[in-house]
Amino acid sequence: MIKGKIHSVETLGTLDGGGIRYVLFMSGCPMRCRFCHNPDTWASPPAYEKCAPEVADDILKYSDFFKFSDGGFTASGGEPLLQQDFLIELLGILRRENVHTAIDTCGSVAITEKLEKVIDLCNLFLLDIKHLDPTTHREITGADFSPTGRFLEALNLRNKETHIRIVILKGISDSTEYAARLAEFLKKYPCVKKIDLLPYHNLGVKKWEKLGMNPPSFEAPDRQETEKFAKLLEASGFATSIQ
Ligand code: SF4
């Protein structure tokens, strides 16, 4: 039986997909974002490994909270889509138990039949778009944007509910010009039902220092600039939240 490589669990999360959620932080990531809040999830080996039925049993202990709050289960990380066999088994069990499921992903994975199966089994995708400009994307994540773009196309083709998440970095992704570019790009994808804006904060810096790495040198954006950014997206017809 395939075991999931797990970093940690948050049993009463409220920011990752609606309602009260059981959030499973999975190990491993193909990106190396300079602003990552969870660089400790990159590491291998993981904190622990568990098979899908065991994880499902633990998740189902919280079903009453899910029902009461329209919540559910969210796979996050790290990058959950690096562990697709495990997810297929886990999502299958949770679907049979009527638990709402979400995957928080950077979408930097190949489109395969297996991935399409994961997409079909999951209710909601929280897709991080780090930056639309290919050069900036590579500079801040170490990876290309094109796989994420292809992933969004796959979600759209399958009409899968998608919320886009944008980390707002001062001087990099906080301008109204960039908001307009983003709105123009996302209009092509009717699967996108909401945009979550996540202003950068430096709470993850201590983790970088603990891992012996140079911490990121980004600044938090001005609240007013983020609000302007949100208003522009809203004017383009997108439901938007600032987290
Ligand atoms: S994709 Fe997410 S987990 Fe991976 S490096 Fe970027 S911010 Fe961190």
Residue 214: which residues within 8 A CB-CB, separation 6 or more?
Answer: 208
**Calculated CA dihedral for residues 189, 20, 80, 142, nearest 10 degrees:** 70
pLDDT of residue 79: 97
Radius of gyration for the chain, computed over Cα atoms and rounded to the nearest angstrom? 17
d(CA 10, CA 139): 31
Best residue for ligand 1 mutational test, from 23, 32, 36, 173 (most atoms within 8 Å of Cβ): 36
Residue to substitute in 24, 26, 33, 207 for testing ligand 1 pocket (most ligand atoms within 8 angstroms of CB): 33
Domains and CATH numbers, the chain: 3-242 (3.20.20.70)
- Tokens linked to 119: 């997409």
Measure 72 CA to ligand 1 centroid, in angstroms: 22
Q: What percent of the chain has pLDDT over 70?
A: 100
Question: Scanning the structure block, which residue is given the tokens 């959030």?
Answer: 23
The pLDDT value recorded for residue 47 is 85
Q: Which of 90, 95, 125 is nearest to 109 (CA)?
A: 125
Distance CA 201, CA 149 (A): 26
Position 44 scores a pLDDT of: 66
Give CA–CA dist 5/89, Å, rounded. 14
Q: Please report the pLDDT score of residue 46 as a whole number.
A: 82
Q: Is the pLDDT at 136 greater than 80, yes or no?
A: yes
State in Å: Cα 237 to ligand 1 middle.
Answer: 28
Instruction: Tell me the pLDDT tens digit for each residue of 175-215.
Output: 999 999 999 999 999 999 999 999 998 888 889 998 999 88
Host H or E run for residue 79: none
Alpha helices (runs of H) in the chain, residue ranges in sequence order: 52-60, 63-69, 84-96, 113-121, 134-141, 146-157, 176-186, 205-210, 223-235
Encoding tokens for residue 215? Answer: 């911490």
Residue from 81, 106, 138, 196 whose mutation best tests the ligand 1 pocket (most atoms within 8 A of CB): 106
Q: Is 221 in the pocket of ligand 1 (CB under 6 A)?
A: no
How many angstroms is it from 39 CA to the middle of ligand 1? 7
Q: pTM of this prediction?
A: 0.96
pLDDT tens-digit series, residues 69-89 = 999 999 999 999 999 999 999
Of 149 and 15, which is predicted with more confidence? Answer: 149
Distance CA 241, CA 161 (A): 16
Residue 53 has pLDDT above 80, yes or no: yes
- Kindly report the average pLDDT of the chain as a whole number: 95
| CA of 31 relative to ligand 1 center, distance in Å | 6
78-126 pLDDT, tens digit each = 999 999 999 999 999 999 999 999 999 999 999 999 999 999 999 999 9
- Confidence class of residue 12 from pLDDT cuts 50, 70 and 90? confident
Reported as a pLDDT band with limits 50, 70 and 90, residue 6 is: very high
